[in-house]
Amino acid sequence: MDDQRFQASVAQLNAEFAQWVHKEILQNESCNLKQGAKEYVGKLERLERQRLSALCNGQPLQTCQYSLTPKQITKVVHLVRHGNGYHNPPHMRNIVDPHLTPLGWKQAHQVKNHLAKLGGKVSMEVVIVSPLIRTLETAVGIFGEMSFGNEGSVLMNARKETLERPAHPTAYKPPSLNFVAQEMCRETLTGNDCDIRRSISEQSQDFPGVDFSEVQNDLDVLGSKKPHNDKAGSRACNFLHYLFQRKETHLCVVTHAGFLCHILDEACKHLRGPIANTSTPVRAFRNCEFRTYVLTINDSGVLSGMPEGTWFIPGEKEGW
């Protein structure tokens, strides 16, 4: 299955699913869409497997399946998709910058509990987050401290329940973990209202513990442009370069399903072999799914400008 046929098939599947959801809601506003949504995800994954299978046809097997990469040109990157939002099933609201649903907050707290059970096995120095509300709230749900006795700085201010969002208490920043908003990892822009963000001045009021200094424009210049010409594949490559250039070696990225697909498409081509049909590294992310990857660069020339880390040759400095 080539890319054009794959995209056409996905578009048809999305249209059929949206039509089915609309029909079900008209018949019964309190209907349960869980089974239909599960079938939709299953069909989407089958299409993806067919595309990956076509991509790896005719590829010769390498002599050796392993490779060694110097540690100083690697970074550990944890990728997270945001939790369930009001634009996702079953709500499907096409509104500007939607919040997480109660389910979305629950998913974020489940990831938090999962990481706590792993103890010191997962470490991170910074959380890079898309500046949309659903990703900011997901980062808060996973990493924020909810104790009212916490003396740290406020990560997210408390909010009351409204028609657009559930209530939530004040959340605090954990020690030694920074939060940085980055426009490069926002969702792929296709004209949907849900992918337009609020102003940064509004976001920073609600999320005072997030550093928004890397977002250039207060108003959403990118999301408001029509027609959209979002070269998301190039943006994904630029974002990976941005991560590689950062000083931290353990990073977490909280972003969106569409953008994550572009990251995987650009950086995981080597995983599109026989394992692609049975394993998860290149499968589309589900709501609040958490995965860990090692980022490196396929250019040995960068080694000369990188810190040496643990590299040591006995006697070299004595002129041996």
Tokens of 214: 């890397």
Q: Look-up: residue for tokens 């005719």? A: 58
Active site residue 151: no
- Measuring CA to CA, which residue among 286, 228, 295, 220 is closest to residue 263? 295
Active-site residue among 48, 78, 82, 137? 82
Phi and psi dihedrals of 198, rounded to 5? -70, 175
CA 130 to chain CA mean position, Å: 8
Distance CA 246, CA 251 (A): 9
Neighbour-count burial for 116-133, b at 16+ CB within 10 Å, e otherwise: eeeeeebebebbbbbbbb
Asked if 91 and 34 touch (Cβ cutoff 8 Å), the reply is no
Q: Partners of 293 in the beta sheet?
A: 77
Tokens of 317: 């400095």
- Measuring CA to CA, which residue among 215, 276, 265 is closest to residue 52? 276
Asked if 258 and 236 touch (Cβ cutoff 8 Å), the reply is no
Distance CA 155, CA 305 (A): 36
Active-site residue among 187, 256, 262, 289? 187
Tokens of 198: 């609020």
Q: What is the greatest pairwise CA distance in the chain?
A: 83
Active site residue 187: yes
By DSSP bridging, strand 126-129 and strand 178-181 are: parallel
Q: Which residues are catalytic?
A: 82, 187
